[in-house]
Amino acid sequence: MGATVVIEGVVASELPEAWRQRVNAKGNEVLTVTIAKRKMEPVAKTAKKPNSTFGMWADRTDVEDPADYVRALRQTRSSSRRSAA
């Protein structure tokens, strides 16, 4: 899965606070630190409320192809910006 790194002779005060707390190390203790990859359990996916804009074009009868319609709107807007500059 990957390489394991072992660091010997590490003074506890040189480690991040969270690591020191996890092993209950005092500031002047000398430790051996082992860093290894491990497989994490997948996080359960939670159902999310759909974004309110999702499907906003679905019921439009005046728009045959929403992608073309929006592209045309954006084109008009960008060309008006160029002419104003």
Question: pLDDT digits over 31-71, tens only?
Answer: 999 988 888 788 777 777 777 777 777 777 888 887 888 88
pLDDT at 12: 92
Residue 15 DSSP label: S
User: What's the pLDDT at 80?
Assistant: 66
The rounded percent of the chain whose pLDDT value lies above 90 is 14
What pLDDT does residue 53 have? Answer: 77
CB 15 within 8 A of CB 25: yes
Taking Cα atoms as reference points, which of 70, 72, 76 lies closest to residue 53?
Answer: 70
Q: C-alpha 82: how far from its chain's center?
A: 36
Q: What is the mean pLDDT of residues 1-6?
A: 78
Element (H, E) at 34: strand 30-35
Mean confidence (pLDDT) of the chain: 81
Q: For the chain, what is the total number of helices (H) and then of strands (E)?
A: 2, 2
